[in-house]
Structure 1
Amino acid sequence: MTEHPTLSVRDVDKRLRLGGETIVILRGVTFQLERGEMTALMGPSGSGKSTLLGIVAGLDRPSEGSVMLDGKEIGNLSERELASLRSQKIGMVFQSYNLIPTLTALENVQLPLYVPGRNGHRLDRARELLDEVGLGHRLGHRPSQLSGGEQQRVAIARALIADAPLIVADEPTGNLDSDTGHALMDLLLGLRARRGTTILLATHNDSIAAMADRTLRMRDGRLVPA
């Protein structure tokens, strides 16, 4: 049997009603991501990148079209089903890290596993991942005690703890200097190579995008030739 892609997006539109007017944000977006592929998503502000990432991550729903994640259509799932899918199938990394300031690095990484039935071995797993991203010596540090690059490494470890097949990263290097940003990309590439994780990464940085397997470009809610 042929293996299905990690992600398949087909003819996705997104429209919003604003003040009696219909605003079209996404128009007929179609692409797929194969297993173990890292794809960069580029485009100017307002092109629809963040909306597309939100739909792919199950945080928003398309107005029309189909989104298949690991062979499962997600557009018609209930909110509870979507939450379960996100916890198992999607790791998310944000530009602003989104760490809980009162928790240590070790506690932040464990957060996705604090749900019924998924608590076994979470402590050992979190330690293993922090060691893998080079922070085995910073387990007890809170976000305010970590550099920007270290905080983003914690966020990546958190995204990986559920062994999700897809990581969705929205400008993960946007708050980092050039050297730290490229080091973070090297880390993601290494994790992808070892784990076969599929990564969809939004960025404004051409040199960051060049490190991906391919680049998708958006303009006015559409994918355009790279």
Structure 2
Amino acid sequence: MPESAAHELMLFGLSFNLETLEMTWMVMAVVVILSIVATRNLKLVPAGLQNIFEMVITGLNSQINANMGKRGALFAPFLISLFLFLLISNWWGLIPGMSSPTNTLNTNLGLALLVVVMLHVLGLYYKGTKYIKHFFEPFAPFVIIKLIEEIAKPITLSFRLFGNIVAGELLIHILPKLLPNIFAEIIPGVVWLAFCVFVGVVQAFVFTMLSMSYLADGVSDENE
């Protein structure tokens, strides 16, 4: 059996990459464990992991409140969890022997589609026919442009994240072969690794902010 086939499972005519599923579950487990450890012994003056989590949550909450209004608090747990999952996923491939769930387009597209589906469901729930009406404004033919925008949302979300994470992981392996020996250990081992860590943070933040912006269109109160 080919090695690629050994990592795939066929179910109901669909192919599932077992390695991606394993890495995804491992990342989710890490997020859960870190969250438990950070909140197990809460202190009035935060330190260590609790301090890091509080900075992340405080920063994201401020963005959520600014972009989504009073209803944003309902979706803060989802958006914060999404950011943490993406952040750990983006870094996961930097660990020897591991691969990032986000270096697979299926994972990113699945998350992007989830956000877009939530947008439309929430838009209909909160705004009803007004949400449908805005696709035809200011003139009815604009619905074509609006539909193209909606189709582009999950595509741009998923490909942006996929391209940056895959490029980072590939260059870690390629740079030592392209650079002189004096740089072969320094750049991949320190500089490029640090850059990939930075890119992982930026991409997780960008994906979360764009998701927040999209959801805001469906849940924001026009009277705010």
TM-score (norm 1): 0.29
Specify which structure has the bigger relative contact order, considering alpha-carbon pairs within 8 angstroms and separated by 6 or more residues.
1
TM-score (norm 2): 0.29
Structure with a larger share of its residues in helix: 2
Higher Rg of the two aligned structures: 2
Structure with a larger share of its residues in strand: 1
